[in-house]
Structure 1
Amino acid sequence: MTGGASLGRNTRAVALGVAVLLGPCQAFAQRVQRDTSIEDLPRPGYEPRTIRAGSFVLMPQVEAGARLDNNILATQSNRRSDVIFLLNPSIEARQDSASAKFRAKAYGGLSRYARTSRENTTEFGASVDYSRAFGSRQSLGTLLSFDRTFERRSDPEAEFARNRRPALINVAAAELEYRYDGPRVGVTANVAATKLDYLPFEDADRDMVTYRASVKGQIRLSERISVFVQPYVARRNPRVKIDRTGVDRTATTYGGLAGVSLAFADRLRGDLGIGVFRSNPGDISLDAFTGIAANGRLTWRPRTRTAISMDVFRGDVATVRIGAIGRIDARSSIRIDQEARHNLILHGMLGLRDIHYRGDFDQDERYVTAEAGARYLLNRHVSVEAIANYSQRTTPDNFNEFRRWQGFLKLILIY
């Protein structure tokens, strides 16, 4: 991805925080090569410059802006609004050869509230991604990352008092992936581990290490259509085996997906798999659970400068909520990206999410999210972006419901 688009996506990914990293344990974090996004399409005269340092290409970037939030504490009553000032620097280094690719990224993120200073946060992180091809059909890749993030008040797992500062979290991840792309048969094997460390002492029993492994076997029926099967396993080991409610939250999830992959040139690409999972809790007093699993993403390009993306997911995911021994997520979303002019990019998104907790904390949470935004490139060095976002959570417990909207205005500086 280009420097001009990378930080925006990086900061949005980190803004999802723990929800992403605790999310689909069976999503196996595969580093699938996506089609070129609308933001990254060639735009003569607007290409960001790069810095050469020997064989490396460096791409520095800075985002500065403000966010207006009408419900910063994500509460149903006594809403509090504020303006948050943002500063997000980043740098990416690349090195490519005929058989190897290297990526290294580092970023920082400062959020400062105009009136509610206890909500101020500082984030940072770095990642290294290396892949190497062996011949024309085999490759091996590895990814290492570290993020200092925090628990958002709107996160499904958030459970802290209004007068308490957001909990800081260290997230470390490692991944190894092997790929074989034969003329008719393909195999992808992936192993990964994620360590979640809440820094506050009172949250020690929410710390967790998750291990994941999967093997995907694929057969090409034609140049455009393939079918696949993908068994997987995930193991969750909490740092404190018995949490403050007396429950052993150790668990192992087994599952498998079967589905189809489509590659109709640039028009329709992606894959969709459906299967089952079985979650086996470590606590002998708890029952195992079997459910439907689904995972997929399809992108339709009716025109070169238009992309419509659809995502679906359902499965058993990790949870650090006290009193819950499991969590089933069901998510779906649709997003439209459109280049209205060569230097004006628009997007819109609608997402639905249902979360069901199992255990002593047994309830459903439902989310609706809508977003619209525009990015205008002034030149190859400067662009501005405006985003409006609405989110809503409904629960059987009205105290945990909230509605809020946010408005973002950002200035993006690219070397």
Structure 2
Amino acid sequence: MRQRGWFGIFALMVPAAPAFAQSAMPTQGASVADRPRPEYAPIGGRIGSFFVYPEFGLGAEATDNVLATAENRRSDLDALLTTKASLQSGFTRHALDLSAHYDRSFHARQTSENVSRYGARLEGRYDIATDSWIAASGTADREVEPRSSFNSPTGASEPSRFSREGGTLKAQRTLGRLTLGAGGSITALRFSSVAYAGGQSLSQRYRDNNAYAADLLIGYEFRPGIRAIVRAAVDHIDYTLPADDPRQPSHLNRDSRGLRIEAGLRFELTSLLTGEARVGYLRRNYSAGQLRDTAGPSFGADLLWNVTGLTSLRFSADKRIDEAASATIAGNRVTEFGLAADHEYRRNLILSASARHVTIAPLGPAPSSHEIRASAGARLLLNRRLSVSLGYRFADRTSASVDHTYRENRVTIATLVTF
């Protein structure tokens, strides 16, 4: 749910707007892969004060475990079609962007895995002054849970589909060395039934929920490029299916409330080191007494180090509570660490590699799982309109539960055309 699953490889292909010569230092806050490359930036088309950027992608994937199972592994080939159109404002102040996408996969053997994904996003920013702004966004997506997702229904004859609609509102103001920020969001998730062999069907209505969240940020720059920050967030998850509804398999009220408070540092040391690191406390309380509450330390980090003008390293870490697909286990405690590297071998050839370790501990009578993910890839920018990428991804999840154990190797090749 947190990324675009099978089509995530296309994120490696998008010609990052704009660029520098090999001897130039990276843009502040941008890795080598994301730095501007003007000579390879999409041309787009102008409509008044807006620019439109259409994209069209074709790709192919090979996997040795298309259903992400521990046993009876099945290999498959599939073709990928991606389309996207973005409308971006060209205002000197303020911003307004609209984008829409449609993705489709076509499998050679497991045709039941053929899926479509589509959605749209509208976001805008109003600059009150040079040091304050208000931003809002709205999204509507029709998504698919990857088979490798921890919450993917076990044994289903087709992938799980769901819709997601939501909106955010944020504001920030800087007063000298002091920064104040606040935000709120609403997200609605609706899950479709999944089919099983023999014509049986499983209703996932018990997973439908509305989530409400609010957060507050306080920052103080005690020396140039280093800011102390305190972040506090609260949320409430409201499940739409009542506990006494016949379609509720556990007959439990799965509503919950969460709190997360963290303090740390935000770095903006020229182009060399940017990002932030935080530690704190998190808590989640469930309405049903039979469900297990949780509380304890939390942390988060996203640090980018531009080692040289050609190489970037990014470290990330997070400890959080995710919702669970189980009707009897309310959530999963997730601890995640990641390291990624990008290297500009040539001005138009970027090499990337990453590794990530994830521990998933259910809040209930179920075993923990440990997952290792690794990937490597290359992106070749041929010109302003055409780019090609090649990628390899490895995933291995171990658990005492065979339902959550799998290993997969996946290779992807793709092209992206921008107009």
| TM-score, normalised via structure 1 length | 0.90
1:149 to 1:136, Cα distance in 2 relative to 1, 3 A: same
Number of residues paired by the alignment? Answer: 388
Change (3 A) 1:45 1:230: closer
Pair 1:345-2:346 in alignment: no
Check if 1:386 corresponds to 2:390: yes
- Out of 21, 28, 51, the residue aligned to residue 57 of structure 1 is 51
Query: Could you tell me which residue of structure 2 aligns to residue 4 of structure 1?
Result: none
Identity of aligned residues (%): 23
1:314 is aligned to 2:319: yes
Match of 1:183 among 163, 167, 176: 176
Asked whether the equivalents of residues 66 and 409 of structure 1 are also in contact (C-alpha less than 8 Å), the reply is yes
Deviation at 1:372, TM superposition (A): 0.1
Unpaired segments ≥5 residues, structure 1: 1-10, 18-32
Q: 1:43 to 1:255 in 2, by over 3 A?
A: closer
Does residue 228 of structure 2 align to residue 224 of structure 1?
no
Are 2:262 and 1:257 equivalent residues in the alignment?
yes
| 1:11-410 equivalent positions in 2, closer than 5 A | 13-15=3-5, 35-43=29-37, 45-162=39-156, 164-200=157-193, 202-242=203-243, 243-360=248-365, 362-410=366-414
**Letter of the structure 1 residue corresponding to residue 400 of structure 2:** P
For structure 2, list consecutive stretches of 5 or more residues without a partner in the other structure.
8-26, 194-201
CA distance in 2, matches of 1:146, 1:410: 26
Shift of 1:284: 2.7
Deviation at 1:96, TM superposition (A): 3.1
CA contact (8 A) 1:350 1:371 kept: yes
SS of the residue corresponding to residue 223 of structure 2 reads coil
**Partner SS state of residue 159, structure 2:** coil
Distance of 2:107 and 2:6 partners within structure 1: 19
Return the letter of the residue paired with 2:173.
Answer: Y
C-alpha deviation, 1:45, in angstroms: 3.3
Distance apart, 1:83 and its partner CA: 0.4
Q: Partner of 1:20 in structure 2?
A: none
CA 251–44 in structure 1, closer or farther in 2 if over 3 Å, else same = closer
Distance 2:138 2:6 in 1: 19
1:15 aligned partner, one-letter code:
G
Q: CA deviation at 1:288?
A: 3.0
Amino acid at match of 2:148: S
> d(CA) in 2 for partners of 1:338 and 1:13?
23
- In angstroms, what is the RMSD of aligned CA positions? 1.9
Instruction: Render the CA deviation track for 1:307-327: whole Å, top value 9, x for unaligned.
Output: 111110002222232221122
Query: 1:44 Cα shift?
Result: 5.2
Match of 2:16 in 1: none
Shift of 1:359: 2.7
**Alpha-carbon shift at residue 255 of structure 1 (Å):** 2.1
- How far, CA to CA, are the matches of 2:189 and 2:375 in structure 1? 29
Shift of 1:97: 2.0
- Greater Cα offset, 149-158 or 368-377: 149-158
1:166 aligned counterpart, secondary structure: coil
Q: Provide the TM-score with structure 2 as the length reference.
A: 0.89
Contact 1:292–1:315, Cα closer than 8 Å, also in 2:
no
SS at match of 1:205: helix
Rounded Cα–Cα distance in structure 2 between residues aligned with 1:113 and 1:285: 43
Q: CA deviation at 1:377?
A: 1.5
> CA-to-partner distance for each residue in 1:159-205, whole Å, 9 max, x for gaps?
2424x211211011210001012221001101011111002271111
CA contact (8 A) 1:60 1:414 kept: yes
- State the AA in 1 paired with 2:223: S
**SS at 1:155 equivalent:** coil
Task: Report the Cα offset of residue 138 of structure 1.
Answer: 1.2
Contact 2:59/2:80 (<8 A) preserved: yes
Cα distance, 1:215 vs structure 2? 0.2
**Do the aligned partners of 1:99 and 1:134 also contact (CA within 8 Å) in 2?**
no
What's the CA shift for 1:287? Answer: 4.7
Superimposed CA distance per residue, residues 75-105 of structure 1 (whole angstroms, 9 cap, x where no aligned partner) = 1111100001000010111103232011111
Distance in 1 (alpha carbons) for counterparts of 2:6 and 2:186: 19
Runs of 4+ aligned structure 1 residues displaced above 6 Å come to: none
